[in-house]
Structure 1
Amino acid sequence: MPRQQLVLISLIWLKGETKYASFSVSAVDFTDWPFNQNPWKECHLKLMQNDGVPLVRRRSGGGAVYHDIGNSNYTIFMPRDEFDRRTNAQLVCRGLHQLDIPALVNDRHDLVIGDKKVSGSAYKLVNSRAYHHGTMLIDADLTALGRYLRPPPKNLVGKGVESVRSNVTRLREHSFTVDHLSFCEAVAGEFYRTHGVQWREPVELTVDHMKTNPKVRDYYEEIRTWEWIYGQTPDFVHRLERSFRWADADILMNVHRGIITEANVTLKSERHIAVASRLSERLQGKSYSEDGIREAFATLKEDLILGTRDLEELEGLQEWLGSSL
């Protein structure tokens, strides 16, 4: 099957009407991060944008995850009163043992080989239902993983939960034969044994199947929006400082749901007092993004009568501020 058609393929095993497990692999590289984190602290967004790697925000907790065709995903759905993270992690672990992979479940319910992580997981409880999902690093590009999940240091202070960073390894470093399908079959078999169900042929869902489901289609449209990806970010404060030839700049921005709600710009130069005051005003209400910064500076330039020298200085300030987010 061509690579571009493997965007989402799930193999689903059913047990009655209460439990099922799904498995998927993505041929489109992307990074997904949880509901309660700050993407500007967790991901190298500039690098992802330059490389065409989308950012996707999920509803569950946990930490940021990089996905490529070498990273498989599993999900176990169940009634809420039967949910137990360790039980589910141990089920997946036993599946790996069927592949002669010596994995263990650690205190954080991650799957590890030695002291290196191969699988992390997260969960969500909704009314009477629960789901527990995780990743499995089978043959993932660990170099890309490190690049996209290690953002440059920023002076950000906020309420979001930070990822716990771990040393990682891949199943392929411990088995020459493991692949996505063998992983799915091993864990599905363990799912059947655990719940006392006979093996059934899996149901395969492709992107075309998803497009015919109105609820899935609506959900897909929702999670593509800026408001969902960035607009649910917990409040944070970003302080930036830099010495220019013409002034020292100190900028403090309060950000709520991805919008700059308050800005305090200080330019330590008598000539730039008015510019600093106006820029503080123009930043308020703009999105915390390069586009938002560009809009603020565009209106600032319309407000003031500026000479060539002033414009050059403002352009340098704009370029620095936009690239620092």
Structure 2
Amino acid sequence: MKEEEVPLVRRRSGGGTVYHDIGNTNYTIIMPRDSFDRRTNAELVCRGMHQLDIPASVNERHDIVVDGKKVSGSAYKLVNTRAYHHGTMLIDADLKALGRYLRPPPKNLVGKGVESVRSTVARIRDYSYTVDHLSFCEAVADQFRRAHNAEYRPPIELTEAYMNEYPKIREYYDEIRTWDWIYGQTPDFTHRLQKQFVWADVDIHLQVHRGFIIDAAVIISAKDLIAVASRLAGQLKNKQYSDTGVGEAFSFVGMNRLNLQERHIDQLAELEQWLVSAL
């Protein structure tokens, strides 16, 4: 994702990671908390799909499926007297990219969060040559108006100008783009990173809490780098689990407080580059 400049966004509701591209449409239904029901909302979306001649149904997990394949997942949040239920619809998404970006984490990355349930997915374009973003939105909106006896309202485009008129929307938009929000509240996890360099074997263990490295162990097989390994482990503690944090941890190399030889400095530069790419 980093190499291909795919942004990572963390939402307020629960649920697993979702892949978004121009072929994926999101929908949201906001309601009083007492009226919230996942199946009812999913069935409303299904009725919209039936208008488009797509034989969709709701499974036992409240996912929307076609021929047993998942085309839409959803999540929700309950706040005081209100609730919202939002979901995705894979209209014409790039499923190869979806599989690539949502691949399971490596075995050396162990987290304490709840694992997502993996499902076979499909696109509704595979069941309709004419469906697109606009026709899906219109069909679901039509079913919403019928179900709630609501009048038509023109859509609102969430532009910079619109957000500037509503400070709370702007505040929320800005908050979810920060490092503290995206990474600072992630579940605890441990990450073991191993690499065989020409000059030594490296084994690094990181323990991460709320996006910060709270403990680290570094083993470098080269005898002349034992002191460097110990120093690096100490430097990694209390740093962000990020490119920036790793860069700060390696800052002692540039200061050369350990009187490192030039080849050692080059080796540590290679180590830093690898560690950044491996996070």
> Out of 229, 237, 261, which is 1:276 matched to?
229
Superposition map of 1:51-62 within 5 A: 51-62=4-15
The answer to whether the 8 A contact 2:192-2:206 is kept is yes
1:244 to 179, 197, 218: 197
Asked whether the equivalents of residues 56 and 65 of structure 2 are also in contact (C-alpha less than 8 Å), the reply is yes
Q: Cα offset for 1:99?
A: 1.1
Q: Which position in structure 2 is the counterpart of 1:111?
A: 64
Counterpart check, 1:200 vs 2:126? no
More strand by share: 1
TM-score normalised by L of structure 2: 0.93
Identity of aligned residues (%): 65
Deviation per residue, 1:219-264 (Å, 9 max, x gap)? 1111111111111111111112233333332211111111111111
1:318 aligns with 272
State the secondary structure of the residue aligned to 2:202.
strand
Give the whole-Å Cα distance in 1 for the aligned partners of 2:106 and 2:61. 26
Alpha-carbon distance in structure 2 between the residues aligned to 1:131 and 1:285: 36
Aligned residue type for 1:319: Q
Q: Does 1:66 align with 2:8?
A: no
The 5 Å alignment of 1:232-311 reads: 232-302=185-255, 303-311=257-265
Q: Distance in 2 between matches of 1:178 and 1:199?
A: 24
**Structure-2 change in CA distance of 1:142 and 1:211 (3 Å):** farther
Counterpart of 2:251 in 1: which secondary structure? helix
Runs of 4+ residues over 6 Å off in structure 1: none
State whether residues 27 and 86 of structure 2, in contact with CA within 8 Å, keep that contact through their aligned partners in structure 1: yes
Distance in 2 between the 1:253 and 1:51 partners?
A: 25
- Do the aligned residues in 2 keep the contact of 1:57 with 1:223 (CA within 8 Å)? yes
| 1:99 aligns to 2:52 (yes or no) | yes
Separation in 2, partners of 1:248, 1:114: 50
Q: Deviations over 1:103-153 (max 9, x none)?
A: 111111111111211100000000111000001111122222222222662
CA RMSD, aligned part only? 1.7
Is residue 42–residue 62 contact of structure 2 (8 Å, CA) maintained in 1?
yes
Q: How does 1:160-239 map to 2 (within 5 A)?
A: 160-195=113-148, 197-207=149-159, 208-239=161-192
Scaled by the length of structure 1, the TM-score of the pair is 0.80
Alignment of 1:6-21 (within 5 A): none
1:79 is matched with 32
Of structures 1 and 2, the one scoring higher in RCO (CA 8 A, sep 6+) is: 1
Q: Which moves more between the two structures, 234-243 or 70-79? A: 234-243
Corresponding pairs, count: 277
Cα distance in structure 2, aligned partners of 1:152 and 1:275: 29
Contact 2:144–2:150 (Cα < 8 Å) also in 1 = no
Q: Which amino acid in 2 is paired with 1:283?
A: L
Per the alignment, residue 31 of structure 1 pairs with: none
3-state SS, counterpart of residue 95 of structure 1:
helix
